[in-house]
Amino acid sequence: SKESKEQYVNSKVEGWCTSLRALAEIAKTHPQSAHAAFTFCLQHKWMYMCRVIPGIAQLLEPLERVIREVWIPALLGSPPEELHRANVSRELLANAVRNGGLGIRNPIDTAERQHATSVSVTLTLVDSIVRGEKLD
């Protein structure tokens, strides 16, 4: 049901927010290690959930708020107000490193795209299973 889905997602988001706050404390003294843990581990946990559960983008708002207000300031070593005055762009930080960002994706902005991509790439497999046909 919709309520069960929301309850499940909200409990996961709460846990990720707690983990991200702890990682922000680590970032104050070990920013590179904390960033690696974020981009290669923690971020992938909610990206997976976005791929398998449709329509959860707005439920990820508390997570994005912690990313903006706690994680990014800790990682960059500046208070949120200073980053705002310096015009540090959240959109730029979401870009891949090769594109001048830090790979800190916005979970709200990417949730629906993650799910659509997952549906698209698994369509052939799902059709094969539903029809009981062998894959080529």
User: What pLDDT is stored for residue 134 in this prediction?
Assistant: 85
User: What pLDDT is stored for residue 111 in this prediction?
Assistant: 93
CA 59 to chain centre: 12
Q: DSSP states of 19-54 as a string?
A: HHHHHHHHHTT-HHHHHHHIIIIIHHHHHHHHHHSS
User: What pLDDT is stored for residue 87 in this prediction?
Assistant: 67
The pLDDT tens digits of the residues spanning 78-94 come to: 888 887 777 678 888 89
Contacts of 68 (CB under 8 A, 6+ apart): 80, 90
The pLDDT tens digits of the residues spanning 26-81 come to: 999 999 999 999 999 999 999 999 999 999 999 999 999 999 999 999 999 888 88
CA 62 to chain centre: 11
pTM of the model: 0.85
Q: Which amino acid, residue 39?
A: T
